[in-house]
Amino acid sequence: MAAPDALRVHAGPDGAFVVESDRGVAWRFAPDGDRWSVHGLPDRPAATLRRARRGRPGFVLEVAGDELARSATPWGMERVPALRDVLLADGRAFRMMPGLDASPTVRVLGWEGFGAYLSAQRDASAWQLVTEPSGHALRNIDDLSVMVAAELAEIERTRGATYVGSG
C-alpha cells in the first residue's frame, strides 16, 4: 500500500505519537513498555517499534520478531538531530538529511537515485511528511515513512521546536 501524499506527525507528551493524513489518523504509536504498538498499518497488523538495543541509536520496526526496517545515527553525528540512516529489510538504504532552509526541513534520499523520496517540513504545530514523485513507485514506502515519522517524533520529544537546520 502506498502512503498518502502528505502526513502530519504529532508527538504526545506521554511518549505516544500519531501520524495523520487529510482523511484522519493514519497510524497511531502507543507506548507499550520499552516499545510502541503500531496501529493502522494495513499490511502489518501486529507491528511494533522499539529503540535499537545494539549499535548506533535509532529505532527498529518489527512484526512477530522479523525486522522490517532500522534507523541509526551515523557515527559522529549524534548532535545533528535529523541526520539518520534508514535500512529496509530488503537491503535498500536511505538517509534523512536536514535542510538548510529557514524553517526546519528534512529530505529522505536513496543511495541509488537522484531526488528525495520523502520530504518533511516543520510548521507551528507539527511535521508535514510528503511523499515526493520518486517515492510513489517505491516498494515498502509505508515502512520508510514509519521510520522517518518515528525520528521526527523523537526530535519533537527531545528538542521541542528547536532544530539544527533552522535559522
166 belongs to a structural domain: no
Q: Is residue 163 part of a domain?
A: no
Q: Which residues contact 137 (CB under 8 A, 6 or more apart)?
A: none
pLDDT of res. 13: 67
Question: Residue 39: what pLDDT?
Answer: 84
**Count of domains forming the chain:** 1
Distance CA 45, CA 52 (A): 21
In a domain, 145, yes or no: yes
**Is the residue at 138 inside a domain?**
yes
Strands 6-11 and 127-131, how do they pair?
antiparallel
Q: What is the pLDDT of residue 88?
A: 93
**Model confidence pTM above 0.85:** no
Domain span including residue 13: 6-158
- Tens-level pLDDT at each residue, the chain (167 residues): 344 568 888 877 677 888 887 767 678 888 888 888 888 776 777 788 988 877 777 899 998 889 999 998 877 776 666 788 999 999 999 999 887 666 788 899 987 767 899 999 988 888 999 999 888 888 888 889 989 998 888 887 776 544 333 33
Per DSSP, which regions of the chain are E strands? Answer: 6-11, 17-21, 24-32, 35-39, 47-51, 59-63, 66-72, 84-88, 93-98, 105-110, 116-122, 127-131
Query: What's the chain's length in residues?
Result: 167
Residue 165 located in a structural domain:
no
Residue with cell 534520499: 109
How big is the CA angle at 107 (ends 153 and 88), to the nearest 5 degrees? Answer: 75
